[in-house]
Amino acid sequence: MKPSTSLLTLKHTLKAAASALLLHAACTGTAWAEPELGWPEKEELKFGFIKLTDMAPLAIAYEKGFFEDEGLYVTLEAQANWKVLLDRVIDGQLDGAHMLAGQPLGATIGYGTKAHIVTAFSMDLNGNGITVSNEIWDAMRPHIPQQNGKPVHPIKADYLKPVVEDYRQAGKPFKMGMVFPVSTHNYELRYWLAAGGIHPGFYAPHKGDTSGQIDAQALLSVTPPPQMPATMEAGTIYGYCVGEPWNQQAVFKEIGVPVITDYEIWKNNPEKVFGVNSEWAKQYPNTHIRVVKAMIRAAMWLDANNNANRPEAVKILAKSNYVGADEKVLANSMTGTFEYEKGDKRAVPDFNVFFRYHATYPYYSDAIWYLTQMRRWGQIAQPQTDSWYLETAKKVYRPDVYAKAAKSLIAEGKAEASAFPDFATETGIKPAQNEFIDGVTYDGSEPNAYLQRFAIGLKGETVL
């Protein structure tokens, strides 16, 4: 919210009064001390977002007054697409933004736009799905095992493969949409397809080819999230990977079927982050910490009491200035369920996770996973050492900022220490994770060994 002149005047008066009290205490020996966390260097802030459910921590921090509690007066502004959003953070039009996890990493290593972007806050876990058109679903369904008349989940890309082969034999390219080349959605869709033996194609930026369609059996292209359902309905694409509410929108409009959630591709996978320009972070360190504090509180509120606040969150997100989708569509996923075929609604309590499982902590191993996928599909053209992956993660992910924010909340009695990782011992590398749809184990300390485990994708010294 942009503050009125009178509101700013009042705040400055209160700050001056507090400073005077501190000075008086220092002169008289009273047991006063300035708060460990300094005043925000910048109070009026503008943050960007894309109209997706997982922008929720920003909306809640604003609506519940958590930003104002930190002396921050925030304007939230929807952006046209991910590229515009990133460009506006780089050039300073935005102070920060809801970002694809791959955006700070891609920008920092110079894939696409070159800029040093950092993140100290992971916005959520899970939250995406892969949807196919009714026509594709009808062709897939005979290949899918059934139980009590319903498809057995998770639905693998193995069941899509014969459909893709039929299209290709008929001379029809099989086209699918994702939201951005460095998006979680791109990597999840590629992961799912490749696990089913469908090659999603390579990038070769060093050769000037950024289509991502070299050797592809399924052709993936960028479509903005809100346009996904209409683009599929028009027949331009046959399916897509996107965040909510745009999978449930396809069900609501009866134009497609979500076949799998990203929770089923990789259980509790990291999703969006909150990104800022590294120069901004250096210039406004206290402001940065306070922004993270407010967003941690928002994430806690979203997951509190077994998601008890989610119905209220749905009403907030349904507003046109946030996601602007029908409340029923938003509630399908936000309140712990997910509808696949029309009427086939199943419990997925962790479809949207905002705080539990340390969802907000910026783990280096999360960053490394994204970097491995960039390498796997050719966005990182040359082989890199394991140490390079870790060093790059540390350039972008800032658990030090997060820890200061969390410790401040604990000191203020607004959070319990047990809700966070043990900051004294945390390395930033999660234990090996094996809950992937293809059964491949991921260990963030061994990125090159991880890449060797895949039948499809670049690895070792391979260069296109």
Q: How does DSSP assign 93-148, residue by residue? A: SSSEEEE-THHHHHHHHTSSS---EEEEEE--EE-EEEEEEHHHHHHHGGGS-EET
Question: Would you state the torsion angle of the CA atoms of residues 100, 133, 320, 76, taken in this order, to the nearest 10 degrees?
Answer: 0
Q: What is the pLDDT of residues 111-159, one digit of tens each?
A: 988 999 999 999 999 999 999 999 999 999 999 999 999 999 999 999 9
Evaluate if residue 265 carries a pLDDT over 60. yes
CA distances from 428 to 185, 325, 397 (A): 23, 36, 10
CA 87 to chain centre: 18
Q: Report which secondary-structure segment, H or E, holds 211.
A: strand 209-214
**Residues with Cβ within 8 Å of residue 459, at least 6 apart in sequence:** 376, 448, 451, 452
Per CATH, the homologous superfamily of domain 128-268+439-452 is: Periplasmic binding protein-like II (3.40.190.10)
| Confidence grade of residue 186 (pLDDT, cut at 50, 70, 90) | very high
pLDDT at 32: 30
Share of the chain above pLDDT 70, in %: 92
- Going by pLDDT thresholds of 50, 70 and 90, the confidence category of residue 13 is very low
At residue 36, the pLDDT reads 76
Residue 12 has pLDDT above 80, yes or no: no
Token readout for 202 is 């390579």
> 37-125+271-419 — its CATH code?
3.40.190.10
**CATH 3.40.190.10, the chain: domain bounds:** 37-125+271-419, 128-268+439-452
Of 290, 349, 309, the C-alpha closest to 121 is: 290
Residue 4 has pLDDT above 90, yes or no: no
Across 258-272, 334-348, 353-367, least confident range: 334-348
Q: What are phi and psi of 242, to 5 degrees?
A: -155, 165
CA angle 362, 225, 185 (to 5 degrees): 45
d(CA 184, CA 56): 17
pTM of this prediction? 0.92
Rounded to whole angstroms, the Cα distance separating 101 from 252 reads 28
Q: What does the radius of gyration of the chain's CA atoms come to, in whole angstroms?
A: 23
Question: Scanning the structure block, which residue is given the tokens 């790059």?
Answer: 392
196 vs 237: CA distance, rounded Å: 19
- pLDDT value at position 271? 95
Q: What's residue 200's pLDDT?
A: 98
Going through 2-63 in order, the beta strands assigned E by DSSP cover 44-49
The answer for residues whose C-beta is within 8 angstroms of residue 26's C-beta and 6 or more apart is: 32
